[in-house]
Amino acid sequence: MATSFTKVSGRPTWQQTMLRIKDPEKSIPFYTNLMGMTVIDTLDFPQWGFKLFFLTTLPEGEVYELTPGTQAAHDYMWSIEGTALELTYNYGTEQPSFLGYHPGNQEKDGFGHVAFNTDDVYAACAKLEAEGVTFKKKPDEGRMKGLAFAYDPDEYWVEIVKRGEPNKIPNYFNFSQTMLRIKDPSKSIPFYEALGMVVLRQKNYGDFSNYFLASSPNVDPSVDYSSLSDDEAKGKLSNMFGPVLELTHNHGTENDESFRHYNGNEEGRQGFGHIGFLVDDVYAACDDIRKMGYGFRKVSSYARENESFEL
């Protein structure tokens, strides 16, 4: 039986996906020059030896005039309606002595990939390959033709997905997805619904199921997504500008009490860090989450005022 929770207060919206990067001189150009994202803010903490870069896909033609790292950029970042990619650089990891981060997709890993949509996957992959990008899977390989997985500079998987209708979104690429694996959808889906997300599509593939969720800025309130056919839901997803959270459930994990995915923060498996939500009042939201039976890794902030990390 699925769990049911009251919605967390404070208008929660999905605001970020965090990945650790080895060398910003490589990763930032990959996501800006090749994938079309814009650095909208930075936070530098030399006293603790790390720097954060926040990137997002802006509508084609929109000129971003704020300077990352300024108060104006901070204000913009902490009030955006969309979702950013937070790239975390720990000083010194660009040196040859650092062996790199764990990109996920090994046994029991929770993090899977990020994704970008485009009109023509084959042309986009040819363009990326000409720029020196390598691939886990090209669009003409494997059983699933027409989609690809590129490697970013840290070897995170970057899925390249075809849009449902060409020329509907003018951007060449738009940040479209973060994929996480979940143990039990009867617990995970209500949890994210309590954080304001809506299930736009779900599909059972036999031995696994995918659930696609979005936050309110990316949801059409006039649409009853639960009433759509799979083709209709897939079509709406493929034409969305903002990203969805893809939750993948490998059937049977919910029946194993000892099973647990790695979350990307364990020693020797660090790479993916977290996803983040904006709320009006962090303390009130944390109180609501406690009522749901969940605890926290931290409540306070080493970096940003009124920040918490949930367990």
- Catalytic residues, by residue number, are 159
3-state secondary structure of 238: helix
3-state secondary structure of 230: helix
Q: Are 150 and 125 in contact (CB under 8 A)?
A: yes
Beta strand pairing status for 50-56 and 84-90? Answer: antiparallel
Q: Are 153 and 27 in contact (CB under 8 A)?
A: yes
Angle at 168 between CA 235 and CA 124, to 5 degrees: 90
CA–CA distance, 41 with 71 (Å, rounded to integer): 9
CA–CA distance, 118 with 36 (Å, rounded to integer): 11
CA–CA distance, 176 with 226 (Å, rounded to integer): 21
Residue at token pair 């993916």? 272
